[in-house]
């Protein structure tokens, strides 16, 4: 290959765009940027944890609440309220109140069952009196 020679003169070419051409180029530029970023945006919007993080960030930055989105602060308030309620209730009073209805009795039975499962070593022996059921107990 042979080396190039220096140009003897320099010419300048100038293109002036009108308003319509500038608008068309702007639209083309915008569509190109959207096309380039669309796959990343679709991936972000299809990931539930990313949406949750964006929603939480939005709530923190703007102070606005998104209905249905429970952020960590709201969850802590909710669980603390439940723990406070459980600490302050009187189990004997609640059992007495529940015993006056069928569903309350079932609730008492379920509480007994689940507390027995939770404290397997601490449950008292229950020896029901079965003498009146099914005849005599003599062998």
pLDDT at 26: 93
The reported pTM is 0.33
pLDDT at 82: 82
| 49/37 Cα distance (integer angstroms) | 20
pLDDT at 122: 56
Q: How many folded domains does the chain comprise?
A: 1
Q: Domain residues for 60?
A: 19-67
pLDDT at 124: 53
| 17/21 Cα distance (integer angstroms) | 6
pLDDT at 27: 93
In a domain, 54, yes or no: yes
CB atoms within 10 A of CB 30: 10
In a domain, 59, yes or no: yes
In a domain, 118, yes or no: no
Grouped pLDDT means (10 residues each) for the chain, 139 residues:
84 90 92 89 84 84 82 80 79 78 83 72 53 51
Residue 68, sorted as left (phi over 0), alpha (psi -120 to 50) or beta, turns out to be left
């Amino acid at each position: 290959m042979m080396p190039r020679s220096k140009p003897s003169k320099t010419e300048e070419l100038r293109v002036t765009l009108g308003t319509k051409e500038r608008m068309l180029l702007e639209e083309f530029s915008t569509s190109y940027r959207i096309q380039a970023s669309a796959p990343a945006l679709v991936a972000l919007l299809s990931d539930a944890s990313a949406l949750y993080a964006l929603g939480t960030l939005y709530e923190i930055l703007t102070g606005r609440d998104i209905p249905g989105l429970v952020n960590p602060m709201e969850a802590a308030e909710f669980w603390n309220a439940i723990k406070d309620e459980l600490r302050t209730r009187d189990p004997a009073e609640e059992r007495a109140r529940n015993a006056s209805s069928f569903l309350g009795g079932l609730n008492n039975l379920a509480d007994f069952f689940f507390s027995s499962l939770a404290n397997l070593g601490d449950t008292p022996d229950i020896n029901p009196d079965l003498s009146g059921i099914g005849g005599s107990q003599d062998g």
